[in-house]
Structure 1
């Protein structure tokens, strides 16, 4: 070990995310189909993985609510959920670009590319544009 590595803080483990695959996926209290359903999520909803157990993943949403989802109901296609009341969808990755649409809170968008503090996204209707990364949560 060098003095440099000792002085530097330990890096946190990279966060793992999944997205919901299909419509109306159940997030449950425990890793079992017999467990109570806490909530239903739709296609693309991003979730952070906390742990894995017997074909299930414990996840949390952008509000830090915990639950379990069956792995086959998840995907590795990156998505984000809009957390701001309204987010401007812009033609390019800066506030100088024209606003092409407004995204509402809890709208799910597919993540296409990241550039600095901006994210290129695609809406469910196929419309593409850029949002400030701090207006959404996911990957």
Structure 2
């Protein structure tokens, strides 16, 4: 019985390792970069299309550079993206940038006055507040620790709790 249990456990670990490897491979797009991932819009006018080609209709037009979007699929030179409101469509990769931006708590827009995101001097919950950011304000992200992101918005610079932005995954660290 013990030998059977050991064989089952070893088999489970091996299958789990294979599944993890398959997931890691499946989590990369045709570009070799991970999916999903956050990027930003490079141009001040970007068409969001219903399919991966200029032959497809434009469903939305973004008119501001730097808007964060999440790449969820790749096809040739086209990227299927999702914005903070959940709108999805296809954008040519030439119109996307690896520069990291984020939106301050976009899910809190319209929740009333006084709903603000604190930007702090240091990545600590008891650090001095340097700015109070309205939900939906765009931030330029310099780095994230997995818990905090160093951000700049409208001349203010400081640290924001990572779970209070849309543009970096919880636990994601980068410089």
- TM-score bracket, shorter-length normalisation: 0.7 to 0.9
User: Which residue of 1 is the match for residue 40 of structure 2?
Assistant: 19
How many angstroms apart in 2 are the aligned matches of 1:51 and 1:41? 23
User: Which residue of 2 is the match for residue 127 of structure 1?
Assistant: 156
Aligned pair partner of 1:42 in 41, 64, 67: 64
Where do 4+ consecutive residues of structure 1 move more than 6 Å? none
Q: Is the 8 A contact 2:38 2:167 kept in 1?
A: yes
How many angstroms apart in 2 are the aligned matches of 1:71 and 1:116? 27
User: Which residue of 1 is the match for residue 171 of structure 2?
Assistant: none
Deviation at 1:6, TM superposition (A): 4.1
How many angstroms apart in 1 are the aligned matches of 2:125 and 2:63? 31
TM-score, structure 2 normalization: 0.67
User: Which residue of 2 is the match for residue 117 of structure 1?
Assistant: 147
- The alignment's C-alpha RMSD in Å is 2.4
How many angstroms apart in 1 are the aligned matches of 2:122 and 2:152? 13
Number of residue-to-residue matches in the alignment: 137
Aligned pair partner of 1:31 in 52, 64, 76: 52
User: Which residue of 2 is the match for residue 107 of structure 1?
Assistant: 137
User: Which residue of 2 is the match for residue 74 of structure 1?
Assistant: 96
User: Which residue of 1 is the match for residue 4 of structure 2?
Assistant: none
How many angstroms apart in 1 are the aligned matches of 2:63 and 2:136? 11
Q: Which structure is higher in RCO with an 8 Å CA cutoff and minimum separation 6?
A: 1
Structure 1 stretches of 5 or more lacking a match? Answer: none
How many angstroms apart in 2 are the aligned matches of 1:102 and 1:115? 21
Partner-residue secondary structure (3-state), 1:81: strand
Partner-residue secondary structure (3-state), 2:84: coil
TM-score, structure 1 normalization: 0.81
Q: Is the 8 A contact 1:119 1:133 kept in 2?
A: yes
Larger Rg: 2
Deviation at 1:33, TM superposition (A): 3.7
